[in-house]
Amino acid sequence: MPINENVSDLFGSKVFNSGVMRKRLPKHIYASLLKTMKEDLPLEENVAEVVANAMKDWALELGATHYTHWFQPMTGITAEKHDAFINPTEDGKVIMEFSGKELIKGEPDASSFPSGGLRATFEARGYTAWDPTSYAFIKGTTLYIPTIFCSYSGEVLDKKTPLLRSMETLNENAKRILKLFGKDVKKVTTTIGAEQEYFLVEREMFKKRKDLILTGRTLFGAKPPKGQEMETHYFGKIRGRVANYMDELDRELWSLGISSKTRHNEVAPAQHEMAPIFTNTNVATDNNQLIMEFMQRVAYRHDLACLLHEKPFDGVNGSGKHNNFSMSTDTGENLLNPGDNPAENKQFLIFLCATIEAVYKYSEMLRISVATAGNDHRLGANEAPPAIVSVFLGEQLTAVLKSIETGEPVTEAKDLVMALGVKSLPKFIIDATDRNRTSPFAFTGNKFEFRMLGSNQSIAGPNITLNTIVADVLSDYADVLEKADDLDAAIDALLQKSVKENKNVVFNGNNYSDEWVEEAARRGLPNLKTTPTALAEFTSEKNVALFGRHNIFTPAEMESRQTILLEEYIKTINIEALTMLTLAKREISPAVVTYTKEVVDTLAAKKAIGSVDVTAETTLTERLSTLFGTFIKSIDVLETTLAAAHECEGEQAEANYFCEKVIPAMGELRLAADALEEIVAEKYWPFPTYEDILFYV
């Protein structure tokens, strides 16, 4: 069957989407559900019962036997518990049933999910509740129902509830602004297109490396003779095996209604990227979870392994996720679209300036939203944006803002036509911004691209932050403008004030340079280099007030989330350190001993002959012994350092300790092991090297 057969039939074929609903639901029920989905109106009671029944019939036709409430606990991944549709009858048979109640509410045991001290284990009850704004879908033989997750006493235990709340506050405040421009729209949603980077390696290789299996990244590995220096991989020809993988991945995603659009090779060998077409933030978040899951599942079927870790290999680029962000109305207007003449487009300028101001005011919170142990390997490591948050605007918008600040007219040309000097080539209008790959927060034509996210993380956290901080500034703007007698004058004054006060965060240059680090310090921009230093700011007065003001998190919920994030950091590094120790002691050490024995045996045999030169064997033995000595010592140091970690009081102190003491000890051990790898015979080395893993055919 040709691969492109029936793509349009295939697309969304496993999704209970509005097309299916329209066909299967009575008109008034469909209309009511649509109102809930599109306008955030509360669900009417009788609706759930009818929807549940239609959903079940549809799911059964597609082979489903089970349903599950699918939720996103604070672990950043998804959770599910499957229940069969079966219901026993008196004659000893079963019928397949699914009630409105079962659709709306589930009661999973909440005690084994992180709560950061919010909920004691004896109060184990948790609730999941249907989120009608993200479609249900079928995976395997199960109907998946997107839900939120909270505790018996109402504390939020997931990532979706705060995300929905943040979308709500953005909606409210953006509508206030639009009203001032005479636009009475029903809803403003944030839209997200999340580009996903990943590595694909052979499963055979993956299985031989406990570090990849247990931690997702290589903890040892000398630099291969060839890395990414030839710059041939980015956008390079996609090898056959990978192309087949991508084809199958696309088909899986399309059937789930996920519009996988772009695919290409990335900078590092064996690294790739896919980007879906943007959609509303809630759906984009669910979709990204499915994308990551299917990337791994499909890899398995192709004897490959998909690595989603931020830094699977030292010395080659790591993986991130680019969160393309904009806001749009239910009438289809993109609020970050500058239009033909941005300088005159006051509405656009308000949304633009609000976003810039939000990033400046809450840059710590944005940094915190991407702080994980894995991402610490990337941010600021000359391959990804630094830990300093700044905004790239490009020449044209910078000129527009300059003119707002100074009151002088804009000097830049509005549209620039690209003429290539070849008559047969079409002319085209070039973009308002060039690309600046180094900026953490870049305006790219009609959206902002937040580039600091780690490849492995849920996009919920960063978008809870983005939505809330932009909503916060929009709300301040609306407070001022709603009171104004002369609206035009008030808008001009507000824009000028905002540009002046926030220009410090705008930076169009090279974010990877050392000069920028110094310049940013002079500008007073925070530089929270590591996860523990960033997380320490999570519960700052400013942040607690922000999330409280918009009813996203209570102070208790903030504290619990901080605890969870710190614990996650500690656990991650702890597992990595323990894995290193196991590999060092049980795999590398024996290999070195065996190889040394071979060298020493040769040395002895040669010596026995008499007058043969044994300098080479002697030198090699000495080298092995010296490096092995350092290696064994580093094992001991790491072990002692790790053992002392529990003496720290509180999660923050312990996280700091792991960052400042354990990670450097891990670094020392790795250095010694990698040096040994370079001189121990290949056949003795216990696991595949970087070369073996990265350059397969």
Under the rule (CB under 5 A), what is the footprint of Mg ion? 195, 322
Helix (H), strand (E), coil (C) string for 231-262? CCCCCCCCCHHHHHHHHHHHHHHHHCCCCEEE
Instruction: Identify which of residues 363 and 439 has a Cβ nearer to ligand ADP in the complex.
Output: 439
Q: Which does 217 bind (CB under 5 to 8 A by kind): ligand ADP, Mg ion, none?
A: none
Residue 380 touches which of ligand ADP, Mg ion, none (Cβ within 5-8 Å per kind): none
CB of 264 to ligand ADP, least distance (A): 8
Gap between the Cα atoms of 12 and 61, Å rounded: 15
Question: CB 326 → ligand ADP: shortest distance, Å?
Answer: 3
* The one among 191, 438, 498, 508 contacting ligand ADP by CB under 6 A: 191
Q: With CB cut-offs between 5 and 8 Å by kind, which of Mg ion, ligand ADP, none does residue 326 bind?
A: ligand ADP
Least distance between Mg ion and beta carbon 334 (Å): 17
**Which residue among 100, 116, 162, 193 contacts ligand ADP (CB under 6 A)?**
193
Phi, psi values for residue 453, rounded to 5°:
-70, 145
- Comparing CB distances to Mg ion, the nearer of 451 and 550 is 451
What does 656 interact with, of ligand ADP, Mg ion, none (CB < 5 to 8 A by kind)? Answer: none
Q: Which is nearer to ligand ADP, 262 or 626 (CB)?
A: 262
Chain centroid to CA 263: how far?
17
Instruction: Report DSSP state, residue 294.
Output: H
CB 631 within 8 A of CB 592: yes
Round to whole Å and give the CA distance between 268 and 695.
Answer: 11
CA distance 192 to 134: 14
Query: How far apart (Å, rounded) are the C-alpha atoms in residues 231 and 577?
Result: 33
Nearer to ligand ADP, 36 or 334 (CB): 334
Listed ranges 53-61, 90-98, 324-332, 391-399: which one lies at the site for ligand ADP (CB under 6 A): 324-332
Report in angstroms how near the CB of residue 195 gets to Mg ion at its nearest.
5
Residue with structure tokens 């948050």? 389
Q: How many CA atoms lie within 13 Å of 10's alpha carbon, on the beta-carbon side?
A: 15
Closest CB to ligand ADP belongs to which residue? 193
What pairing do the DSSP bridges indicate for beta strands 66-70 and 142-151? parallel
Tell me the closest approach of the beta carbon of residue 46 to ligand ADP, in angstroms: 36
| The one segment of 9-17, 321-329, 530-538, 593-601 that binds ligand ADP by CB under 6 A | 321-329
**And the tokens for 175?**
């509508």
Beta strands in 294-401 (DSSP E): 304-307, 320-329, 391-392
- Which of 326, 396, 468, 539 touches ligand ADP by CB under 6 A? 326
- Judged by CB, which is closer to Mg ion: 442, or 558? 442
Query: Which residue in 446, 458, 468, 475 binds ligand ADP (CB under 6 A)?
Result: 446
- By beta-carbon proximity to Mg ion, the closer residue of 102 and 195 is 195
257 binds, among ligand ADP, Mg ion, none (CB under 5 to 8 A by kind): none
Q: Specify the DSSP class assigned to residue 638.
A: H
334 binds ligand ADP (CB under 6 A): yes
Name the minimum Å distance from CB 327 to ligand ADP. Answer: 8
SS3 labels along 455-503:
CCCCCHHHHHHHHHHHHHHHHHHHHHHHCCCCHHHHHHHHHHHHHHHHH
Of 405, 410, 198, nearest in space to 317 by CA: 198
Partner from ligand ADP, Mg ion, none binding residue 419, C-beta < 5-8 Å depending on class: none
* Burial (Cβ within 10 Å: 0-12, 13-18, ≥19) of residue 77: middle
Out of 282, 324, 390, 508, point to the residue binding ligand ADP (CB under 6 A): 324
| Partner from ligand ADP, Mg ion, none binding residue 579, C-beta < 5-8 Å depending on class | none
Q: Closest Cα partner for 439 from 352, 320, 532?
A: 320
Stretch that binds ligand ADP, among 234-242, 366-374, 442-450, 470-478 (CB under 6 A): 442-450
- By Cβ distance, which residue is nearest to Mg ion? 322
Of 102, 131, 195, 202, the residue at the interface with ligand ADP (CB under 6 A) is 195
Cβ–Cβ < 8 Å for 448, 278: no
The answer to whether 680 and 591 are in contact (CB under 8 A) is yes
Q: How far is the CB of 337 from ligand ADP (least distance, A)?
A: 8
Q: In Å, what is the CA distance from 365 to each residue of 74, 386, 696?
A: 17, 15, 41
Least Å distance, CB 463 to ligand ADP, is 11
555: how many CB neighbours lie within 10 A of its CB?
A: 12
Exactly one of 175, 309, 447, 550 binds ligand ADP (CB under 6 A); that residue is 447
Q: Which of residues 366-385 bind ligand ADP (CB under 6 A)?
A: none
HEC assignment per residue over 22-62 = HHHCCHHHHHHHHHHHHHCCCCCHHHHHHHHHHHHHHHHHC
Please identify, using beta-carbon distances, which residue of 342 and 385 lies nearer to Mg ion: 385
Side-chain half-sphere exposure of 90, counting CA atoms within 13 A: 0
Length, in residues, of the chain: 697
Residue with Cβ nearer ligand ADP (286 or 449): 449
Task: Give the separation between CA 572 and CA 404, rounded to whole angstroms.
Answer: 48
Within 10 Å of residue 551's Cβ, how many Cβ atoms?
13
* Least Cβ distance, residue 446 to ligand ADP (angstroms): 6
Q: Cα separations (Å) of 54 from 20, 112, 129?
A: 9, 33, 18
Question: Which residue lies nearer to Mg ion by CB, 160 or 322?
Answer: 322
Output Rg (C-alpha) for the chain, integer angstroms: 28
Residue type, 238: I
**From Mg ion, ligand ADP, none, which one binds at residue 436 (CB under 5 to 8 Å depending on kind)?**
none
String of contacts with ligand ADP for each residue 259-298, x by CB under 6 A: ---x------------xxxx--------------------
Residue 447, contacted partner among ligand ADP, Mg ion, none, CB below 5-8 A by kind? ligand ADP
When the beta carbons of 69 and 322 are compared against Mg ion, the nearer one is: 322
d(CA 558, CA 126): 19
CA–CA separation, 570 and 616 (whole Å): 45
Question: Is the CB of residue 130 less than 8 Å from the CB of residue 147?
Answer: yes
215 or 326: CB nearest ligand ADP: 326
Nearer to ligand ADP, 369 or 539 (CB): 369
Please choose, from the candidates 530, 543, 531, 535, the residue with its C-alpha nearest in 3D space to the C-alpha of residue 562.
535
Q: Which is nearer to ligand ADP, 265 or 326 (CB)?
A: 326
Question: Closer to ligand ADP at the Cβ: 142 or 446?
Answer: 446
Q: Which is nearer to ligand ADP, 277 or 644 (CB)?
A: 277
Shortest CB 323 distance to ligand ADP, Å: 9
**Interface ranges with ligand ADP (CB under 6 A):** 191-193, 195, 262, 275-278, 322, 324-326, 334, 446-447, 449
